Amino acid sequence: MNEHIVEINQNNLDETYEFNKIAKQASGAVMYRQGKAVLIAAVAIDEKAVDEDFLPLTVQYMEKSYAAAKIPGGFIKRETKPGDFETLTSRIVDRSLRPLFPKGFHYPVTITVMVVSADSEVDMQVAALHAANAALFVSDIPVSTSIAAVRMGTVGDDIVVNPTLSQQAESELDLFVVGSGQDIVMIEMRTLATEDEVGQHANEFSEDALVDVIAMAADAIEKSTTAYVDAFTAVAREPLALTLAEDKVDETLYAMIENKYAADVEKAIAHMAKSERSSELKKVRTRILEALEHEGKEADKELVSKVLERYKKTVVRAMILANNIRADGRALDEVRPISIETNILPSVHGSCLFTRGQTQALVTVTLGDKKDAQMYELITEKNAQTEKFMVHYNFPGYSVGEASFIGAPGRRELGHGNLAKRALESTVPLGYDGSIRLVSEILESNGSSSMATICGGALALRAAEVATSKLVAGIAMGLVSEGDKYAVLTDIMGLEDHDGDMDFKVAGTKDGITALQMDIKLGGIDLDILKAALVKASQGKNHILELMEDALENIESSAALPSTEHFSVHPSKIVDIIGKAGATIREIIEKFEVSIDIDRDAGGVKLSGSDKKKVAQAKAHIESIASAPVKKQMAYNIGESYEGTVKRIVDFGIFVEMPDGFDALLHISKVAKERVNNLSERYKEGDNITVVVMEQKGKKVELATPEFLA
């Protein structure tokens, strides 16, 4: 195979694809270039299918430190576990490429994307997805559809396709859209806060404005996918002759279930409406298998499972489309009952127990100093970054009734936590002087646990007295579609997520959308349907916000909240507050049990402590130091005696506060003619002491006692 180079210039991207150059033993591979960024993507397949009914696809996006001319930090000098950005990017690539595989494809596939050269202006998520897409398209795996990704941002008042990273840093919008042709398959969106003379703005987008931008993205995606198919087809390998799993259909068995077990299935559906992991359908399957065996018929467990699942799905969708009734009896646009309790944990800075139907999240907020921020590195940045607002989402097995070990967070947990962060971040004060860690413990789940995290998180932040600009609520939407008929579902549960055609999560304030995530199973969505779903989402979101506003009025401050004081002193007084070798500031910290942050240039002082009275006393003490008149050192007469005060006793002598307020050292060798081993036996701090000035050089004054000179 000869090396083949393809150059494509579309949507503000200059991309070069080099095929048949590297990783020739892989099923498909490409060396991708954009600017100074170089990525290697390779696809490999195991030609032995798994027995389970799913696609065993693994995506690994990895950033090599050498790509940015760096050596990994820490004790181990090689790349170890992936960072959050790598994991989230792997998840994006997986969600985008998974729909391309044909139905019944159950062969293990691994897609690996490595960044081997970095560029500070290249969007690595777009680059990784395009590299992986090209490697998959030209591979011998039977995939003949190309996707493309675009990121939409703002530069001034203009919407821009694929802005550079520096432009993204100034953008008010971050919209990532993946599709094929005019079909959108995935959307991720957030707004970024800005500040002007009026104050901070979350930059919410209205439903109409967002649909217009998505339409622009769809046009850009169509241009790219057309160009990719035209360019890559000539390089694509002959597809492997793989046997696809058949969707077994037994009409006789289906009719038997419909005629004899309809009531049992409906009862199981009612249970599934209450639990994300209900086992009621398995019980129905057992009864069917027993009945078949009793009749002497072949009982194929896998076949019964598939036919039963199909019948259940048909019943659920028919209830919705034909009768406008959902499995739990709700109307299509009805939100499940909500209860909210705030600051239920007495030793926590802020907490909220948010319950919506059978989904419950305990969300906590902990406030910290700047030093508590999470440090991380990006391949596109030379210096380490700090994350002052952290959101951590935990999903233990017991939340869905499973007996499973709680381990490190997986991709799902990182993804849900990232979505909640993106929704809330734009309302956190831009200049917040400290760090915030928000943790969501999912205690019960039946859909929308990430949205419960957003709702509970917004209230937990207020409970911790963080001055967020607005409350944010989140809601999960669904779609059921057959032909020209469709139904939009508000606040979907696990059953509707599984049997529906779209998983659509929307978060925002009363003024618009701040974050959005959508995965479509249809292979595309009409923008009119998307707009209708956004309108319904807005109605549900505003209903939840009203309940959250009511709960806001009942929040009582947590006794665990630290007391914080911000004030300023003249910058010239900072040196007095710190003291010689930091002695004064250490004394204040120990005496008043506070932490102190100082801005030397601006003269800013931040005091924090658990005891408000002691924080106030520390503030008064610092202000007294700052307001004290400037001390001027005396010119002492050599050989003359002066009265001083024992300020501090150390192993090598005594620091004596002289009449001018400055400290001078009385060395242990100048205390007495005989050797003194323990000064603490002779003197105590605060004692008056007579000393003789032996020498003065600038601020340095040497002392002796009259006893030593006698």
Rounded distance, CA 53 to CA 83, Å? 31
CATH code: domain 641-709 is 2.40.50.140
561 three-state secondary structure:
coil
Residue 548, pLDDT score = 97
- What is the band of 305 on the pLDDT scale with cuts at 50, 70, 90? confident
Please, where in the chain does CATH 2.40.50.140 lie? 641-709
In the chain, what is the straight-line distance between the N-terminal and C-terminal CA atoms, in Å? 101
Residue type, 500: G
The yes-or-no verdict on residue 382 having pLDDT over 80 is no
The yes-or-no verdict on residue 267 having pLDDT over 60 is yes
Residue 522, pLDDT score = 60
Per-residue model confidence as pLDDT tens digits over 403-439: 889 888 889 999 999 999 999 999 998 878 889 999 9
Residue 635, pLDDT score = 86
- Range picked from 55-64, 74-83, 313-322, 601-610 for highest mean pLDDT: 55-64
Q: Which of 160-164, 261-265, 422-426, 449-453 is the least confident region?
A: 261-265
Residue 8, pLDDT score = 96
Question: How high does pLDDT run on average in the chain?
Answer: 90
Q: Which of 89-103, 346-360, 467-481, 515-529 is the least confident region?
A: 515-529
- What is the band of 401 on the pLDDT scale with cuts at 50, 70, 90? confident
Residue 611, pLDDT score = 81
Residue 351, pLDDT score = 97
Q: Which of 222-236, 385-399, 516-530, 543-557 is the least confident region?
A: 516-530
Residue 1, pLDDT score = 66
Residue 421, pLDDT score = 96
Residue 198, pLDDT score = 53
Residue 396, pLDDT score = 94
Going by the DSSP 8-state scheme, the letter that residue 205 receives in this structure is B
- What is the band of 612 on the pLDDT scale with cuts at 50, 70, 90? confident
More confident residue, 454 or 598: 454
Please, where in the chain does CATH 3.30.1370.10 lie? 564-627
Mean pLDDT computed over 547-572: 88
Tokens of 489: 């579902």
Residue 528, pLDDT score = 84
At the topology level, CATH places domain 564-627 in Ribosomal Protein S8; Chain: A, domain 1 (3.30.1370)
Domain 4-153+217-235's class?
alpha beta
Per-residue model confidence as pLDDT tens digits over 565-579: 888 888 878 888 888
Rounded distance, CA 260 to CA 362, Å? 43
- What is the band of 688 on the pLDDT scale with cuts at 50, 70, 90? very high
What H or E segment, with its residue span, contains residue 436?
Answer: strand 435-444
- What is the band of 495 on the pLDDT scale with cuts at 50, 70, 90? confident
The yes-or-no verdict on residue 375 having pLDDT over 60 is yes
Q: Which of 37-41, 110-114, 324-328 is the least confident region?
A: 324-328
At the topology level, CATH places domain 338-552 in Ribosomal Protein S5; domain 2 (3.30.230)
Mean pLDDT computed over 435-458: 95
φ, ψ (nearest 5 deg) of residue 600: -60, -40
Per-residue model confidence as pLDDT tens digits over 659-682: 887 888 899 999 888 888 888 888
Helix 411-425 × helix 449-463 angle, to 10°: 50
Percentage of the chain surpassing pLDDT 90? 52
Sequence-separated (6 or more) residues with CB below 8 Å from residue 189: 173, 174, 175, 176, 205, 210, 513, 515, 516, 517
The yes-or-no verdict on residue 402 having pLDDT over 70 is yes
What H or E segment, with its residue span, contains residue 14?
Answer: strand 13-19
Please, where in the chain does CATH 3.30.230.70 lie? 4-153+217-235, 338-552
Residue 511, pLDDT score = 92
- Range picked from 354-363, 557-566, 633-642 for highest mean pLDDT: 354-363
Tokens of 270: 């009612």
More confident residue, 314 or 130: 130
Residue 196, pLDDT score = 63
Rounded distance, CA 63 to CA 44, Å? 19
- 137, 236 contact by CB (below 8 A): yes
Mean pLDDT computed over 525-539: 88
The yes-or-no verdict on residue 695 having pLDDT over 60 is yes
Residue 355, pLDDT score = 97
- Range picked from 30-39, 204-213, 486-495 for highest mean pLDDT: 30-39
Residue 519, pLDDT score = 85
The yes-or-no verdict on residue 252 having pLDDT over 90 is no
The yes-or-no verdict on residue 74 having pLDDT over 80 is no
The yes-or-no verdict on residue 460 having pLDDT over 90 is yes
- pTM, two decimals, is 0.82
Mean pLDDT computed over 632-654: 88
The yes-or-no verdict on residue 631 having pLDDT over 70 is no
- What is the band of 199 on the pLDDT scale with cuts at 50, 70, 90? low
Rounded distance, CA 150 to CA 148, Å? 7
The yes-or-no verdict on residue 452 having pLDDT over 80 is yes
- 340, 351 contact by CB (below 8 A): no
Residue 367, pLDDT score = 93
- What is the band of 281 on the pLDDT scale with cuts at 50, 70, 90? confident
Q: CA geometry: angle at 82 spanning 78 and 84, to 5°? A: 140
SS (H, E, C) 280-339: HHHHHHHHHHHHHHHCCCCCCHHHHHHHHHHHHHHHHHHHHHHHCCCCCCCCCCCCCCEE
Residue 98, pLDDT score = 92
The yes-or-no verdict on residue 527 having pLDDT over 90 is no
